[in-house]
Each structure stands twice: as C-alpha cells, then as structure tokens.
Homo-oligomer: A and B are copies of this chain.
Amino acid sequence: DLPLTVIAGPCQLETLDHALMIAKTMLGACQAAGAGYVFKASYDKANRTSLKGRRGIGMEEGLRMLEEVRNRFGCPVLTDIHDIDQARAAGAVVDIIQIPAFLSRQTDLLLAAGETGAVVNIKKGQFLAPWDMPNVADKVASTGNDRILLTERGASFGYNTLVADMRSLPIMARTGWPIIMDATHSVQQPGGQGGSSGGQREFAPVMARAAASIGVAGVFIETHQDPDNAPSDGPNMVYLDQMPALVASLMRFDELAKSDPVMG
C-alpha cells in the first residue's frame, strides 16, 4: 500500500500568491513527512448557505491559478465542478476532478467527469449510505475511466449536524477504489450559523487520525493561515501552521496502519 496522500488547500481560491503560499507550505510538510500531496482549491462555491456567502473567483481565473500551482511545484491539483459544461475545461487542467457531495447522484455530471479521463474524486452525499456508493462509482466507471476516489465527508445526523461513520471507510473500500477521509467537512455544521455553516475545527485532527489508523489512502483537509477570516468554511478549516505537525503525526499512524491492515 502506498503512503498516505494529503489533499489539502484553502476552501476557495483567493489570489495566486495565496494559492502558491499554501501549496508551498503543504508540499514542504508532506515531503518532509513522506506523504503524497495534492493541492485542493475551489474556483466557485456553487451551493453557499445563503446568497451573501462569497462565491469565488470563477472558473477561468481559477483554472489558471491551479495550472500555475502545478507548474510551479509539480504537485497534482484538484478542484470541484458543478455542471457538465465545466467538466471538459477543468479536466484539461486539473489532475483530479471532484464531484461535490450534494451532486453525487447527478448522473450526467458523473459521466462528464469520467469522460475527461482525469481522476474523479466522488464525495459521498450526506444523504447516502456507504453501500450506495458502488452504484455511484459505476456511473463514472461506465465511461471507461478507472481512476476513481471515494470520499467520506459525513452523513446527515438530525438538523445542521453531520456524523462520520467510520464503518463507511471499510464498506466503501470493498469497491476496490482508494478511500479518502474528508476530515474538515465531516466536522462541519451545515447551515449552523444561520447564514453560513459552522464547524468544529478542533475535531478535524481527531477524524484524520482515526481514518489514517484505519488505513485510508488519503485524507482531505482544508487549511488556511487565518481561517476566521477566510471567505468560506472558516469554522472547520485547520490553521496552516498546524499542518506540518499534523501531517507528520498522521504519517506515523499511516505507517503503522498499513503494516497491519484492518480493512478488507
């Protein structure tokens, strides 16, 4: 089994300098710890709780920034798409196209993402069971694309709350696709602040560690140097300056987990 991959970056793209700064910090942290690294950022937040939430810089400019991050550092880059038309443009630039959880049942979006030939990371819908995901992955696989990732990011648990069911990791792993744990969205409190989502950033390292210990292929962690002033998802993003220690810690659990498999 390969060492843990860390998919990390800001919730949304802000400026090129900002993206480069975060990518550089994260890449350094991951290389130092022996982890794989994928830069993640969104060019559009298409499903904000309210209209007042900031949307992002847009696809065209966003894809240019992502390309620049990859050119500069050589690390793969990931972004999420929101409709079919974006698939081709994004697929031409990024290494990994991500399907947002709310859209994880939209057949045409899954097919369009698959057809790009990029890796497709599907976030499990908050309304789906882990055993629903093989049908979802099959939609992508039907295009002939066999580079699929499945991500746990929490299931609806009453109102404005998610719960991450650790059983979903081994259940989804039965598909054979690599499994990712989204440690920051699974501690989100959707809509929990009225006009925006709340979150419990302090538990993201707990979720990441639990998943690494179970032997996941990767963890997904949104990070920012100043989460409380980030344009979105501040309450659940991890402070950037805590990431190097977190990654190093996760790698120790990853190494132990992969020498002693508990999934499958």
User: A: which residues have CB within 8 A of B?
Assistant: 46-51, 55, 82-84, 102-103, 105-108, 125-129, 131-132, 135, 138-139, 142, 155-161, 163-167, 169-170, 187, 190-191, 195, 200, 202-203, 205-207, 209-214, 249, 252-253, 256-257, 260, 262-263
Contact = CB atoms under 8 A, between A and B. Distances in A.
Contacts of A165: 157, 163-164
Contacts of A163: 155, 157-158, 163, 165
Contacts of A211: 210
A142 B51 contact: yes
A129 B195 CA distance: 13
A187 B167 contact: yes
A138 B51 CA distance: 8
Contacts of A209: 213-214, 257, 262
A252 B262 contact: no
A139 to B, nearest CB: 5
B106 A82 contact: yes
B158 A159 contact: yes
Given A49-B132, A126-B127, 8 more contacts: A46-B106, A46-B107, A47-B107, A50-B139, A102-B125, A157-B157, A209-B213, A210-B210
A169 B49 CA distance: 20
Contacts of A249: 260, 262
A200 B167 contact: yes
A157 B161 CA distance: 10
B191 A132 contact: yes
17 contacts: A46-B108, A50-B139, A51-B135, A51-B138, A102-B102, A103-B103, A132-B190, A135-B191, A135-B195, A155-B163, A156-B156, A166-B206, A167-B200, A167-B203, A206-B263, A212-B213, A252-B260
Nearest to A252: B256
Nearest to A50: B135
Contact of A83 (B55, B84, B212, B263): B84
B160 A129 contact: yes
Contacts of A210: 166, 210-211, 213-214
Contacts of A214: 206, 209-210
A49 B106 CA distance: 9
B213 A253 contact: yes
Nearest to A197: B132
A206 B158 contact: no
Contacts of A169: 206
A209 B169 CA distance: 13
